[in-house]
């Protein structure tokens, strides 16, 4: 995204937390299908968070990783910072899909070259290109943005993945300190999983994608007018401290989604109308065993809905945006989680962004 323009990224590295590693400490295979990433033969729902290691000091790294895990994350997404690692200036690009058009046919062949080069390294794990609609097979194209529920990958054999979901925004001189309400962030995440997503990454701790923001040390902030604080209103603040209620609310959401994992990876959701502006997205394992997201998109009225013989009250949404509330509920166990979309109190410079 824009704020990283001086700290660009090509392809990121995924470190999977213990628990996804086998007994010997090494995951034996990582592949994917049209539904999800597949680790040791099992489809997984993965919650990921970005940590930019140069934006904190090495002493803080273990603490950041520990807290991320406590916050319900499975994966840390990190970046290659060209200002530290690029051997020749100009080699590394970030979100190249946004500028590819300017280079015509050469832009397309560069994408092809980059994909072949990466795949040719035989790393045995899948590669992704974010914001790259024409990512060649087998590279997975992924979505970056504030909302990614309407995103579809460029092939039905690739999973729907969200690599940068902006949990907030970077601070610039002359602008308000960025703030994105956790309810809205949680809504976007719930909505993504509701519509078939299986991987999402918080960019910076505060914003959806950034799990930890940190600091632009020295003269690395880039510009124009980007502040040294890269706090990003993330779940872990600039100094690595837990930011509530964002941290706790998202942790609960991650746990909720985790509880439904076996349902979410098993099938595509079936959408069902429960009335005007009311819908269910149901993931069936068998005909009477499912996990469901119930949503009320009405901006003014709450409603009682009946789903699978149980009655649920879904409050109204007050904002002008045409969707408001999601509850994830496992059909066969007592479990629910509520998120609400409320961009009205955002203070991002670009608050109206959607996919």
Q: Which of 209, 218, 237 is nearest to 84 (CA)?
A: 218
Nearest to 250 by CA among 289, 201, 215: 201
**Residue nearest ligand NAG (C-beta atom):** 145
* φ and ψ of 79, to 5 deg: -130, 155
| Complex with ligand NAG: residue 30 or 353, whichever CB lies closer | 353
How far is 224 from 242, CA to CA, in rounded Å?
Answer: 29
178 to 84, 92, 181, 315, 318: CA distances (angstroms)? 27, 28, 10, 27, 22
CB of residue 203 to ligand NAG, shortest distance in Å: 10
Binding-residue pattern over the window 250 to 289 for ligand NAG, x denoting contact by CB under 6 A: ----------------------------------------
Residues 335-354 that bind ligand NAG (CB under 6 A): 350, 353
Quick check: is 95 catalytic?
yes
Q: Which of 77, 95, 183, 238 is catalytic?
A: 95
Which residue among 144, 163, 200, 201 contacts ligand NAG (CB under 6 A)? 144
Q: What is the 3-state secondary structure (H, E, C) of 107-174?
A: HHHHHHHHHHHHHCCCCCCCCEEECCCCCCCCCEEEEEECCCCCCCCCCCCCCCEEEEEECCCCCECC
Of 34-42, 83-91, 118-126, 155-163, which segment contacts ligand NAG by CB under 6 A?
118-126
Report 294-313 residues binding ligand NAG (CB under 6 A).
302-304, 313
Cβ distance to ligand NAG smaller for residue 64 or 305: 305
Nearest in space to 64 (alpha carbons), one of 236, 188, 215, 187: 236
3-state secondary structure of 31: strand
CB nearer to ligand NAG: give 151 or 283: 151
CB count in 10 Å sphere of residue 29: 11
Looking at 120-128, 171-179, 235-243, 261-269, which segment touches ligand NAG (CB under 6 A)? 120-128
To the query of whether residue 164 is one of the catalytic residues in this protein, the response is yes
Which listed residue (120, 156, 174, 218) binds ligand NAG by CB under 6 A?
Answer: 120
> Among residues 77, 100, 164, 238, which one is catalytic?
164
Residues annotated catalytic, as ranges = 95, 164
């Amino acid at each position: 995204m824009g704020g990283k323009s001086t700290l660009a990224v090509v392809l990121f590295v995924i470190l999977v937390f213990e628990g996804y590693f086998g007994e010997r400490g090494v995951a034996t295979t990582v592949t994917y299908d049209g539904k999800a990433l597949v680790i040791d033969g099992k489809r997984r729902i993965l919650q990921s968070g970005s940590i930019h290691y140069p934006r904190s000091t090495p002493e803080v790294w273990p603490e950041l990783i520990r807290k991320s895990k406590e916050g319900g994350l499975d994966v840390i997404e990190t970046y290659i910072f060209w200002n530290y690692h690029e051997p020749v200036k100009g080699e590394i690009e970030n979100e190249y899909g946004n500028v590819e058009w300017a280079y015509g046919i050469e832009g397309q062949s560069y994408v092809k070259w980059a994909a072949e080069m990466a795949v040719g390294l035989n790393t045995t794990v899948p590669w992704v290109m974010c914001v790259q609609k024409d990512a060649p097979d087998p590279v997975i194209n992924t979505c970056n943005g504030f909302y990614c529920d309407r995103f579809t990958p460029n092939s039905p054999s690739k999973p729907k993945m969200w690599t940068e979901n902006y949990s907030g925004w970077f601070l610039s001189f002359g602008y308000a300190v960025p703030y994105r309400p956790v309810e809205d962030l949680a809504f976007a995440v719930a909505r993504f999983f509701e519509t078939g997503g299986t991987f999402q990454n918080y960019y910076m701790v505060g914003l959806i994608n950034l799990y930890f923001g940190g600091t632009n040390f020295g003269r690395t902030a880039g510009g124009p007018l980007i502040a040294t604080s890269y706090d990003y209103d993330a779940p872990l603040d600039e100094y690595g401290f837990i930011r509530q209620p964002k941290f706790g609310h998202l942790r609960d959401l991650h746990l909720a989604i985790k509880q439904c994992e076996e349902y979410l990876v098993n099938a595509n959701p079936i959408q069902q109308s429960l009335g005007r502006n009311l819908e269910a997205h149901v993931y069936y394992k068998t005909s009477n065993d499912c996990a469901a997201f119930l949503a009320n998109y009405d901006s003014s009225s709450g409603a009682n809905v009946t789903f699978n013989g149980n009655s649920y009250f879904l409050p109204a949404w007050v904002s002008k945006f045409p969707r408001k509330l999601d509850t994830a509920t496992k059909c066969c166990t007592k479990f629910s989680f509520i998120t609400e979309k409320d961009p009205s109190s955002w203070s991002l410079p670009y608050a109206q962004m959607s996919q």
